[in-house]
């Protein structure tokens, strides 16, 4: 195609300051990429793009930020980075007013409004708004996990997952709650934790109306309605709705109790159990009833208590229809029907349906009388 001195491409009307820029632009339309990297054979539409790419192989980063010392392979990335320091966000979304430091970020954001998902997976047909998200997704098909922990050898599909994992080894917990001082390895974990203080429960079950602080708990809860128990113990074939519950259950077979209290040495199967136990030592009661002000060390204890105010009794006996506020009470009640008495006295062999009944009975053997009258004789 013959180029005129106006340096305007007739097909799209875009203008350029020089004929060389127009020639380079035309390659966008023709798809021509005449410049090839001698190391990896990747192709580029201009010599400048090839030169910038070569710095990936050489490690050269000639453009340095004068404020923080961070360096870059090309000038454009430095200019974008400088906006972090200046606060400049020149690219504005015309739909919602959100602004960005980089035009590429605006272009990606616009797809929220347009619904465009131009990056398509050739294996499953799933589409994405960004190329890098597609690249990560493709690893679910290829099995590639290119980011490996140098300390334990665990590998990941994404770099940020490795970065978060490394905090297991370093102990770094950079995200701290301003209310209680608890710290977290990830910002999203802090966001979920904050809902303990705000009471926000944005995820609601469409079947029973129960709400949750995070989506994962809603997903697990939905299996109560569907009956799905996808996680099976390889030793006893007991099935679970939640993978974490399976992991904890397996430790009952292995005897593993990896979480140890630093104050009294007691060991626990789950980290959450250790966290709850530690409140015995700290006297912390972070879960507060909004009706009466009573506080609890565990969220599930607050949930059961709340039913004393709401009257909710969600656990119903399938044999006689009696309902209970606490699942443990239903389990104990079911033993009336089954005749099961799992709590056995080691002294006389008498058995009981509940542990608390066994505890009371044991005092007949030990002579313990823990309840003392405080009244004095007149």
Burial class (CB in 10 A: 0-12, 13-18, 19+), 213: buried
**Average pLDDT over every residue of 88-104:** 90
Q: Is the pLDDT of residue 327 over 80?
A: yes
Half-sphere exposure of 240 (CA within 13 A, CB side): 14
262 falls in which pLDDT band (50, 70, 90)? Answer: very high
Q: What's the pLDDT tens digit per position in 267-326?
A: 988 888 888 888 889 988 888 998 999 998 888 889 899 999 999 998 899 999 999 888
Q: Higher-confidence residue: 6 or 361? A: 361
348 falls in which pLDDT band (50, 70, 90)? Answer: very high
Q: What pLDDT shows up at residue 371?
A: 82
Cα–Cα distance for residue pair 130/136, rounded to 1 Å? 10
The pTM score is 0.42
Q: What pLDDT shows up at residue 121?
A: 92
**Average pLDDT over every residue of 245-274:** 87
Q: Is the pLDDT of residue 378 over 70?
A: no
Relative to beta strand 295-296, strand 287-288 is antiparallel
Q: What pLDDT shows up at residue 1?
A: 47
Q: Is the pLDDT of residue 2 over 60?
A: no
3 falls in which pLDDT band (50, 70, 90)? Answer: very low
Q: What is the mean pLDDT of the chain?
A: 87
User: What share of the chain in percent tops pLDDT 90?
Assistant: 26
5 falls in which pLDDT band (50, 70, 90)? Answer: very low
Burial class (CB in 10 A: 0-12, 13-18, 19+), 223: middle
Q: What's the pLDDT tens digit per position in 162-206?
A: 999 999 899 899 999 998 888 998 988 898 899 888 888 899 999
Q: Is the pLDDT of residue 10 over 70?
A: no
Q: Three-class SS of residue 355?
A: helix
Cα–Cα distance for residue pair 323/330, rounded to 1 Å? 7
224 falls in which pLDDT band (50, 70, 90)? Answer: confident
Q: What pLDDT shows up at residue 221?
A: 87
**Average pLDDT over every residue of 85-110:** 90
Q: Three-class SS of residue 103?
A: helix
């Amino acid at each position: 195609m013959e180029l005129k001195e106006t340096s305007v491409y007739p097909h799209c009307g875009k203008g350029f300051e020089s004929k060389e820029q127009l020639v380079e632009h035309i390659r966008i339309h023709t798809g021509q990429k005449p410049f090839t990297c001698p190391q990896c054979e990747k192709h580029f539409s201009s010599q400048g793009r090839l030169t910038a790419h070569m710095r990936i192989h050489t490690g050269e980063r000639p453009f340095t930020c004068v404020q923080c010392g961070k360096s870059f392979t090309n000038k454009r990335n430095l200019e974008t980075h400088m906006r972090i320091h200046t606060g400049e966000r020149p690219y504005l979304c015309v739909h919602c007013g959100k602004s960005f430091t980089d035009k590429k970020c605006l272009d990606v954001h616009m797809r929220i409004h347009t619904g465009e998902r131009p990056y398509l997976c050739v294996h499953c047909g799933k589409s994405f708004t960004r190329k890098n998200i597609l690249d990560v997704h493709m690893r679910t098909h290829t099995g590639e996990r290119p980011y490996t922990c140098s300390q334990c050898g665990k590998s990941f599909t994404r770099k940020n997952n490795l970065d978060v994992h490394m905090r297991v080894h370093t102990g770094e917990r950079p995200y701290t709650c301003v209310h209680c001082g608890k710290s977290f390895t990830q910002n999203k974990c802090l966001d979920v934790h904050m809902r303990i203080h705000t009471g926000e429960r944005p995820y609601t079950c469409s079947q029973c109306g129960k709400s949750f602080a995070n989506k994962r708990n809603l997903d697990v809860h939905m299996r109560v309605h569907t009956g799905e128990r996808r996680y099976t113990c390889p030793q006893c074939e007991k099935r679970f709705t939640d993978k974490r519950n399976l992991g904890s259950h397996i430790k009952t077979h292995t005897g593993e109790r990896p979480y140890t209290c630093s104050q009294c040495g007691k060991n626990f199967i789950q980290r959450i159990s250790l966290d709850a136990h530690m409140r015995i030592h700290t006297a912390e009661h972070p879960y507060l009833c909004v009706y009466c002000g009573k506080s609890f060390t565990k969220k599930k204890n607050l949930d059961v208590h709340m039913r004393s105010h709401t009257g909710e009794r969600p656990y119903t006996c399938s044999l006689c229809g009696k309902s209970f506020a606490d699942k443990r009470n239903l389990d104990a009640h079911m033993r009336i029907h089954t005749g099961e008495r799992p709590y056995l006295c080691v002294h006389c062999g008498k058995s009981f349906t509940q542990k608390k009944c066994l505890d009371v009975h044991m005092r007949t053997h030990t002579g313990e009388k823990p309840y003392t009258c405080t009244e004095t004789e007149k």
